[in-house]
Chain A
Amino acid sequence: MSTQIEKEKSEEAAEESEAETEAGPQERRMSEKRARTEARERRRQQREQVRETEETVTLKVFRYDPEVEGKEEPRFDEFLVPFHKGMTVLDALIYARDHYDSSLTFRHSCRQAVCGSDALFVNGQQRLGCKTQLADLDDPVRVEPLPHQDVVKDLVVDMEHFYEQMHAVEPYFQPDDLPDGELEEQRQSPENRERIKMSTRCIWCGACMSSCNIAAGDNQYLGPAAINMAYRFAMDEREGENRKEARMRIVEQEHGVWRCQTQFSCTEVCPKDIPLTEHIQELKREAVKSNLKFW
């Protein structure tokens, strides 16, 4: 018995150390992230205690409605929302809409950072409403629609352009050739999966595009999210060389990767923690490698 347990344990340990050496940077990122989360958690608990006694949060919400007379002028409305533990910005907005002003308009759906419909500009930064704890923010909480996009109504912005840029990089799997058997699988190596893992997490929220002031100045710039999508497929080894070349041609064009000036704004705001700048830089290097051949 005891020997068996021993064996299992050592196996486990071996596995662990293997995983550590294999995925060095990823491991480091994860442990850093864990430390960050813990610190944030601690701060939140302190603040929650304070908030618990105050019990309300002031929301200052951007309002604008072109269709109603007297509301065409943008303004800020204040809502006093009762605070409860674990309340997010989205929860507060929903409360304000349900209890104070049913005309308050904003997009939301999943409430768990999956659908990407509620990226907002909260206290000076692009954030997902449903992923942002009120306890993390200073009072009053200022909520605005995403900058650099046209406002349709209240917190709703026109995402059409963002989606166009996303579609421009053909964000779907197109392998050069299909496997022979009908039920044959297209397998990816674990290393390759690891490489594109982060880039697959995009939820099309548009926060990155809104934070980038190159994208704001150059309407044709593909933008971080679209380039990240291109990265996700260009680096996928199952697609084959021809496809990759075609994909590289898209990102290499005048308003592609070379517009990025490494401000890191997108990487800072991405709610899914995608290292966007890193991916853009990698595509730049890839482009240089395929175009400059000295040998």
Chain B
Amino acid sequence: MSQTYDRGTVEDFGRWREFRAGMWAWIFHKFTGWVLVGYLFTHIAVLSTATASDPTVYTNTLQGLEELLIVRILEVGLLAVAVFHILNGVRLLFVDLGMGLENQDKSFYASLVVTAAIVVASVPTFLAGV
């Protein structure tokens, strides 16, 4: 009993293959949440600089951004992140109300599938005319 061995934090993410549905939902929710916060700040930064002077600057900035393929792809990613965060948020709402706790894993898979469907369906719109 003289000493104890602390295995450190390596074990947590080193074990990602053994995570269950609820754990993945939690990780994705955190991740998408941070991405949305990050987006919000860039969004405000870009818009506030673009709208500072006359309207042509705004139009030019946005057109310039929309011309880039990478921006279009990032937009699809943003949609995916937002849709998942919303759907999982609804799932968590039900969990907080104590409804359907036995089906929490199924509702997580459902939100993943719906997110994927919406994102795939949106790709033509986002990538049109690049």
Q: Is A268 an interface residue (CB 8 A)?
A: yes
Q: Is B20 an interface residue (CB 8 A)?
A: yes
Interface residue tally of chain A, by bracket?
A: 20 to 34
A277 to B7 alpha-carbon distance, docked (Å): 27
Determine how close the nearest CB of chain A comes to the CB of B19; give it in whole angstroms: 9
CB–CB A66/B5 < 8 A:
yes
A285 to B99 alpha-carbon distance, docked (Å): 12
CB–CB B2/A262 < 8 A:
no
A67 CB contacts on chain B under 8 angstroms: 2
* B interface residues, how many (CB within 8 angstroms): 27
Q: Is B63 an interface residue (CB 8 A)?
A: no
| Closest residue on chain B to residue A152 by CB atoms | B4
Among B9-17, B43-51, B113-121, the one that faces the other chain is: B9-17
CB–CB B6/A281 < 8 A:
no
Known: A264-B104, A278-B101, A281-B98. Contact between A151 and B7, CB under 8 A? yes
CB–CB A151/B5 < 8 A:
yes
CB–CB A151/B20 < 8 A:
no
A277 to B105 alpha-carbon distance, docked (Å): 13
| Closest residue on chain A to residue B27 by CB atoms | A263
CB–CB A158/B98 < 8 A:
no
CB–CB A284/B4 < 8 A:
no
Q: Is B80 an interface residue (CB 8 A)?
A: no
CB–CB A74/B98 < 8 A:
no
CB–CB B95/A281 < 8 A:
yes
A74 to B12 alpha-carbon distance, docked (Å): 17
Contact of A265 (CB < 8 Å), options: B3, B4, B11, B23 = B23
CB–CB A261/B26 < 8 A:
yes
A-to-B contact residues, CB < 8 Å: 29, 64, 66-67, 74, 124-125, 147, 150-152, 158, 213, 216, 261-265, 267-268, 275, 277-278, 281-282, 284-285
